[in-house]
Structure 1
């Protein structure tokens, strides 16, 4: 398996150097008194690591990050810990293998994070502000998905809250304060969309099953996301069932809109309207959502930078999943497809990246991709070839 070659010059670090120098004390690690050896002796074993972190990280890069520390105490070993706990395997999609402990991590460790983000999202970082588009009326062709194939859809978005560490690094007090902020913001949202905030610690097992809430995984426990579970974790559910907001789970906030009629446009509209309302309330509370000029919206995972948007459509497919050209088609469409636990013939199709296109652009990409996959499935049902439908390489 190939490895990413380190560039000759680290342009991102050069751009941020004045900021980096102002953030890093002369000897930041001295205040923690950590018993660590030299960078060469502390460098992790990445021989069997299939994450982007494992492919990109070199001893020289590790040495540059080794003595850096954010104001809240995040060091580089905290950043790469998820990829060391879950190294992945070569047969699965490549995960980022790292997580930001706070928003400052994206600046302080920029020469590492920028390269992971570019590799994962297949989009170059520039000095330009990422494009944003929440105008759901710009979506095209969402109303003609064949319901005999499209079972349902889900649109979700994640947001980090400014001035708070991300879940892998935040304290109990921070997590509880985030819940207090969410309670105030969601009460304002209830003025137009009635709903109820449910604390996880007050829910029994049956209620958790109804909310499709799984207990934290061993990986989440190891990297610190699930510390003190279920303290200060909550879910807000609208009375009409159109919107669910997860608080303090894998991210500060996660908004989810699910529809059994596979109406992607309506799900996307629900997310856009309520996300913008919450954004305004959080800004009034003096804790806006976390934004970085070159990256857009950022949260704990580099896999969610830019828009934080995920569009998922569940399809009933029998012929296409076994076709020899499927992986090539998915790559060219920039979408992913995997099986679900509900049925061997039910597949989830989603966007592969969140960085680059706007919110409308990403949603349109999934809709167009789904329509093409359905056209291919119908051709295979009739015993016809799909070669002429395969898109050209983008």
Structure 2
């Protein structure tokens, strides 16, 4: 994070936000009354309102605009976090169900594209936070190194197709770095919005990437969240990707304790990723459907989110889109996967029909 941004006090941050025309959820819900109520509060981790809103006040075009300084922040600053969470996730009440990953032996679905006509690859990721540790704004270098030590010890217990190797960013060789860039595994410290939320403090200490020997199971350490756990492979076999992710999660949970909240589900740094924290996506070839003027509305009705293949705000290439589930809160993990599965099947049906009409 730029050093001078840390020196900007809460009064100045509030002035910049309150006098702006920002369309962020932070600006919408941090009213003058709420600000006065929260401005002097501090969490048990030492987190302040300034820690939570700094990035959103410096980057007024942010959609959300607020990060949690630590797990306690969601309740200590509930007068702003609760309405932001309800607004973003489209839920009326904060009552997330208990985790449910489904019956892995009887999922009722398999490969969504067995003939490989549409789907290039399938990817599912979840975020996890270590219990009893702050998020970036309230974590020290020692905290990050301890979380790295704990996680690497757990990763070393993985067996079978989950077994692999951990690569710390601090000691990564140029050759390994080049390969990780080619594999699209490497994460960087180049997002100013995340940087001004303390996301890159003490970089690269405590940060690294684990991937299985077959490169289908990955774990990012201290990127944005403490852990980003990822299962992926080429093609459309959603069942295999899901089964691998859940097996990996189950194995890690035997060694690690993750932060969980009765109202929000699994806790993460950004309130947009609460609940299941789950994002299941496909890179899918839909050159005809994506040209329709109502393409985004079609996705909205299916609770899907279309993105370019290089992530949010990027463009499509050759009619290939990243299509993922939109909802993360108010439903179980298996429900989120099934919703994504049904949506992708409908997208394939619509694209298939358009291809037929062009012949």
Q: TM-score, normalised by structure 2?
A: 0.87
Task: Could you tell me which runs of 5 or more consecutive residues in structure 2 were left unpaired when the two chains were aligned.
Answer: 1-7, 311-315
Matched, 1:107 2:75: yes
Alpha-carbon distance in structure 1 between the residues aligned to 2:280 and 2:39? 37
Gap change, CA 1:56 and 1:171, over 3 Å in 2: same
Gap change, CA 1:191 and 1:345, over 3 Å in 2: closer
Task: Could you tell me which runs of 5 or more consecutive residues in structure 1 were left unpaired when the two chains were aligned.
Answer: 1-33, 90-94, 283-287, 385-394
Alpha-carbon distance in structure 1 between the residues aligned to 2:121 and 2:111? 13
Aligned counterpart, 1:279:
253
- Of residues 47, 55, 73, the one that matches 2:46 is 73
Secondary structure of 1:223's aligned partner: coil
Q: CA deviation at 1:372?
A: 0.7
Q: Is the 8 A contact 2:112 2:237 kept in 1?
A: no
Matched, 1:332 2:301: yes
Alpha-carbon distance in structure 2 between the residues aligned to 1:123 and 1:138? 30
Describe the superposition over 1:166-214 as per-residue Cα deviations: whole angstroms up to 9, x where unpaired: 1233111111111111122112224883211111112134422422214
Aligned counterpart, 2:198:
224
Secondary structure of 1:188's aligned partner: coil
Q: Within 5 A, what are the aligned runs for 1:11-160?
A: 42=15, 44-45=17-18, 47-88=20-61, 95-126=63-94, 128=95, 130-135=97-102, 136-137=104-105, 139-145=107-113, 147-160=116-129
What RMSD over aligned residues (CA atoms) do the two structures have, in Å?
Answer: 2.3
User: More relative contact order in 1 or in 2 (CA 8 Å, sep 6+)?
Assistant: 2
The structure with more radius of gyration: 1
Gap change, CA 1:383 and 1:293, over 3 Å in 2: same
Describe the superposition over 1:257-311 as per-residue Cα deviations: whole angstroms up to 9, x where unpaired: 11112211111111111112211211xxxxx200111111111111111111110
Alpha-carbon distance in structure 2 between the residues aligned to 1:125 and 1:336? 23
Alpha-carbon distance in structure 1 between the residues aligned to 2:318 and 2:19? 34
Q: Within 5 A, what are the aligned runs for 1:305-344?
A: 305-341=274-310, 343-344=317-318
- Of residues 218, 227, 230, the one that matches 1:256 is 230
Alpha-carbon distance in structure 2 between the residues aligned to 1:324 and 1:75? 45
Aligned counterpart, 2:313:
none
Gap change, CA 1:235 and 1:46, over 3 Å in 2: farther
Q: Is the 8 A contact 2:96 2:331 kept in 1?
A: no
Alpha-carbon distance in structure 2 between the residues aligned to 1:140 and 1:313? 19
- Of residues 135, 155, 162, the one that matches 1:166 is 135
Aligned counterpart, 1:381:
355
Aligned counterpart, 2:239:
265
Q: Is the 8 A contact 2:161 2:213 kept in 1?
A: no
Gap change, CA 1:370 and 1:37, over 3 Å in 2: closer
Q: Is the 8 A contact 2:161 2:214 kept in 1?
A: no
